[in-house]
Amino acid sequence: MQIESDDTMPLRTSDDVVRVRQAVRARAVAIGFSLVDQTKIVTAASEIARNTVDYGGGGEMRVEVLRNGQRRGVRLTFSDSGPGIRDIDQAMRDGFTTGNGLGLGLSGAKRLCNDFDIKSAPGSGTTVTIARWT
Amino acid sequence: MAEIPILRIGDCLLISIQVDMHDRLALALQDDLTQRIVADRARGVMIDISALEIVDSFIGRMLNNIAAMSKVLDAVTVVVGMRPAVAITLVELGLGLTGVRTALNVDKGLALIRRIIDNPERDDADRER
Amino acid sequence: MSDQENIVLRLIDRHGQRLLTDWLAYQRKDVRYAGTQREAETVELARRFLDHLRAGAQIAQFDDIETPEWRPIRELLEDLSRDRAIGGFSPTETATFIFSLKEPLFALLREELRDDTERLVRETSTTSRLIDRLGLYTIECYARTREEVIRRQQQELLELSTPVVQLWDGILALPLIGTLDSARTQIVMESLLQHIVDSGAEIAIIDITGVPTVDTLVAQHLIKTISAARLMGADCILSGIRPQIAQTIVHLGLDLNVVSKATMADALALALRRSGKAIGERKPPAAPES
């Protein structure tokens, strides 16, 4: 597998979330994703990016464009050094239905991507990696 | 800071979301809207999202909030102009738009608001979309 | 520029025409060309190949064909493989174009280096490796093109099997045939939603007469499709529920959250009523005054 490009962007403010969306969209278009696939990865990125800003105390996103044989993909890694998630399984189950406004949206984002990985622990921050392929 | 203009069409209010929303803007919009519903005695609120390339949970929650607040003020909320790619993604995302009715465009949205205002029993907004 | 490149260069310069002729003869043994046009194209391709080989031999290493100097030859092989893959030639027939160059080239090498066996062995080995690499490259390009063709055909089949028809103003029908898996559901949703946008329909009848079984997964796909249509302002009616399916739905405790009718006719009647339309008898023409 080759890495065709690799960039990192800060994620501290709402404006950064907007920039992240634009950056992901640009790469998705360049790879040749269908409109629906573009929308899915940008939406997933927006969800995780907002989490990073709102609950992670801010962090950064790394965006890689990959090639694996015939297929090309976008891989996004969101990391923060915030409070971390105590119970990841629970967080993945809650989705938007907690009603208390948290709605981490992790499960939703997972459904929108081909690859999803999350590492987090209280006090150690959170790292979420998502990817979508042609 | 950019503001979202609120237009009046008869007894309906129309908002067109063109820019990327963030927290301050969303809160400001909800404030402005509730004030205008009361001031103009609006019976319907139409939110045009045809310019939105994505709708994430933030926007979804904002739409749900607007619908809930409008309902308390006896106004019907209709979201119009959702793009097909956005609809497909929303469904996959699993985000339910409760209390929010949807129509293809502004014309149909207005017609829908009319139908509901004239026939309250036919209101099925609480069925989740 | 080392000795080995020199010799291939020399051979092509001195015996190019003979090499071409012999090579084409070897090709013809294994490949049958339908019609003289393809035959003529192949002659032309072979000629260009030798030109590129000569150019490459002048400046490039034989060990790595991925370098920029070998690009013209790679592009020629890409075009050839693509053309053959689409044209229905077998992988062997396609690769023969390259591999059949070995014999005539080795024959020339044997003549040229008849008094230097050690060098002959060395040159033959190096040249053989180069041709092997080019041959393998050809086969890879061929495989890639075949995969593209298959993927495109699959896509077309999927799209053909999910037609959306307009039954009346504002009423669409989507007859589903076959099982509903994730890939199919995506196509169905995209097609249905695009039709809703184009026609402004507010009612979509989804007929599942042709869907063999409805289990939890299929039900989820149906629910997704119905939700997506609703977001576009169109209500759905499910029709074509066979008695077996009705039982399965109840047994599995599935809640499809949609109005369902046994037949499309019933669904259409409901759709017309909702649209405020009624079907009535035509009045017979008035009798002429006598």
pLDDT in tens, C52-111: 888 888 887 788 888 888 888 999 999 989 888 888 888 888 888 899 999 999 999 899
CB atoms within 10 A of CB C47: 14
Could you identify the residue written with the tokens 């062997």? Answer: C92
**What residues in C contact B82, CB-CB < 8 Å?**
231-232
- For the record, the structure tokens of C268 come out as 């259409």
**Domain residue extents for chain A:** 2-133
Residue B128 has pLDDT above 60, yes or no: no
CB contact A100 to C (< 8 Å): no
**What residues in A contact C144, CB-CB < 8 Å?**
70
Q: What is the ipTM of this complex?
A: 0.90
For C248-261, what is the mean pLDDT? 90
Q: Which of A8-22, B40-54, C38-52 has the lowest mean pLDDT?
A: C38-52
CB contact B116 to C (< 8 Å): no
In CATH terms, are C3-157 and C165-274 the same topology? no
Which of C222, C227, C275 best tests the B interface by mutation, with the highest count of B CBs <10 A? C227
Phi, psi of A6 (to 5 degrees): -150, 110
Q: Which of A93-102, B53-62, C156-165, C250-259 has the lowest mean pLDDT?
A: A93-102
Which of A34, A70, A71, A133 best tests the C interface by mutation, with the highest count of C CBs <10 A? A70
Q: Are C190 and A70 an interchain contact pair (Cβ–Cβ within 8 Å)? A: no
CB contact B102 to C (< 8 Å): yes
**What residues in B contact C194, CB-CB < 8 Å?**
84
Which of A39, A40, A94 best tests the B interface by mutation, with the highest count of B CBs <10 A? A39
Residue C257 has pLDDT above 90, yes or no: no
Q: Residue C178's pLDDT is what? A: 85
Q: Residue A103's pLDDT is what? A: 56
Q: What is the CATH number of domain C165-274?
A: 3.30.750.24
Q: Residue C33's pLDDT is what? A: 63
pLDDT tens-digit map of A69-105: 778 999 999 999 988 888 888 888 766 554 444 456 8
Q: Are C231 and B92 an interchain contact pair (Cβ–Cβ within 8 Å)? A: no
- Pinpoint the alpha helices (H) of B73-104: 84-93
Instruction: Identify residue B6 by its one-letter amino acid code.
Output: I
CB contact A99 to B (< 8 Å): no
Partners of A59 in beta bridges: A11, A80
Structural domains of chain B, with CATH? 6-122 (3.30.750.24)
Thinking of the domain A2-133, which architecture would CATH place it in?
2-Layer Sandwich (3.30)
Secondary structure class of C89 (helix, strand, coil): coil
Q: Residue C233's pLDDT is what? A: 94
Q: Are C200 and B129 an interchain contact pair (Cβ–Cβ within 8 Å)? A: no
Residue B11 has pLDDT above 70, yes or no: yes
How far is Cα C231 from Cα C217, in angstroms, rounded to an integer?
21
Torsion of CA C226, C230, C232, C237, to 10 degrees: 60
Q: Residue B122's pLDDT is what? A: 56
**What residues in A contact C224, CB-CB < 8 Å?**
none
For B58, name the nearest residue in chain A, comparing CA atoms only: A47
Instruction: Name the A residues in 52-81 with CB < 8 Å from any B CB.
Output: none
**What residues in A contact B95, CB-CB < 8 Å?**
96, 108
Residue B2 has pLDDT above 80, yes or no: no
Average pLDDT, chain C: 88
Q: pTM above the 0.80 mark?
A: no
- For the record, the structure tokens of A89 come out as 């399984």
Could you identify the residue written with the tokens 């044989």? Answer: A69
Q: Are B93 and A15 an interchain contact pair (Cβ–Cβ within 8 Å)? A: no
- Mention every residue, 6+ apart, whose C-beta is less than 8 A from residue C118: none
Partners of C195 in beta bridges: none
How far is Cα B73 from Cα B42, in angstroms, rounded to an integer?
9
Of B81, B109, B87, residue with least CA distance to B10 = B109
Q: Are C186 and A36 an interchain contact pair (Cβ–Cβ within 8 Å)? A: yes
Q: Residue C1's pLDDT is what? A: 41
**Domain residue extents for chain C:** 3-157, 165-274
**What residues in A contact B88, CB-CB < 8 Å?**
36, 39
Cross-chain CB nearest to B57 (options A14, A96, A111): A96
- Mention every residue, 6+ apart, whose C-beta is less than 8 A from residue C198: none
Q: Residue C224's pLDDT is what? A: 93
Partners of B13 in beta bridges: B8, B45
CA angle B109, B113, B115 (to 5 degrees): 115
For A103-125, what is the mean pLDDT? 88
**What residues in C contact A36, CB-CB < 8 Å?**
186, 190
For B82-99, what is the mean pLDDT? 89
Is CATH 1.10.3470 correct for C3-157?
no
Cross-chain CB nearest to B58 (options A50, A111, A112): A50
Crossing angle for the helix pair C71-86 and C91-99, nearest 10 degrees?
A: 150
Partners of A75 in beta bridges: A64, A131
Residue C253 has pLDDT above 50, yes or no: yes
**Rounded percentage of chain B residues whose pLDDT exceeds 90:** 67
Cross-chain CB nearest to B84 (options C200, C202, C232): C232
